[in-house]
Amino acid sequence: GKDHAAKAALFGIQQGSLDKEIRAASAEALIEIGFDGYAIGGLAVGEGQEAMFDVLDYAPGQLPADKPRYLMGVGKPDDLVGAVERGVDMFDCVLPSRSGRNGQAFTTRGALNIRNAKFAEDLAPLDEDCSCSVCTNHSRAYLHHLIRAKEILGAMLMTEHNIAYYQTLMAGMRGAIVEGSFADFAKNFRTAYLNP
């Protein structure tokens, strides 16, 4: 095949904190310039999920529906599902790797801290619903030992699982959108994730 240079996409960043009017003015100015996509900035900086969702109830709608809408620096799995419900298409976040290094695993039944003593002899996988190589080959007890011993392999395996979990979550959301069943997906996700 013929080599094609990757085309970079330029995104304009909507700002305005929690203020609807300032965000509207920011969006209008960005749309006037014209971008390949639009980022929603100034959130995930400590305002809390409820305040973030309040902004996301209107901010994506202030941006063109035919261009990607990117929420910067988000987030926890339940943040992602709630943001997609509100019209966000793209995310970036350090949580899968940072949490993995610190012994936190994201699972279909919520987050768990593998450092906790209760996992010292637990032979179950991190997530029984996950088919990643970490969940297939290693127990919670082994991962607990690695993290408590500060072995770099522990951080690597926890991060590998978390990235696999996020990839599966995003693929599930994309599939549900295509099937027109996103509301059911979100409900089922919350039932399992928020009520482990």
Q: Cα–Cα distance between 32 and 195 in angstroms, integer?
A: 44
pLDDT in tens, 13-43: 999 999 999 999 999 999 999 999 999 998 8
What are φ and ψ of residue 137, in 5° steps?
Answer: -115, -10
What residue type is 137 in one-letter code?
A: N
Q: What is the pLDDT of residue 56?
A: 96
C-alpha torsion angle, residues 134, 140, 145, 147 (rounded to 10): 60
Q: What is the pLDDT of residue 1?
A: 46
166 in the same domain as 102: yes
100 in the same domain as 150: yes
When pLDDT is averaged across residues 85-106 and rounded to a whole number, the result is: 95
Number of domains in the chain: 2
Boundary-marking domain end, from 93, 113, 143 = 93
53 in the same domain as 126: no
Other CB atoms within 10 A of residue 48 CB: 9
In a domain, 141, yes or no: yes
Name the more confident of 156 and 46: 156
In a domain, 1, yes or no: no
31 in the same domain as 49: yes
42: domain range?
11-93
Q: Are 140 and 125 in contact (CB under 8 A)?
A: yes
CB contact set of 46 (below 8 Å; sequence gap of 6+): none
Q: Give residue 3's pLDDT band: very low, low, confident or very high (50, 70, 90).
A: low
Q: Cα–Cα distance between 95 and 9 in angstroms, integer?
A: 24
Boundary-marking domain end, from 35, 66, 93 = 93
| pLDDT cut 90: percent of the chain above it | 87
Q: Cα–Cα distance between 103 and 138 in angstroms, integer?
A: 14
Query: What is the rounded average pLDDT for all residues in the chain?
Result: 94
In a domain, 126, yes or no: yes
Cross-strand pairs, 39: 13, 70
169 in the same domain as 103: yes
58 in the same domain as 103: no
Q: What is the pLDDT of residue 195?
A: 81
pLDDT in tens, 115-165: 999 999 999 999 999 999 999 999 999 999 999 999 999 999 999 999 999
3-state secondary structure (DSSP) of residue 2: coil
128 in the same domain as 49: no
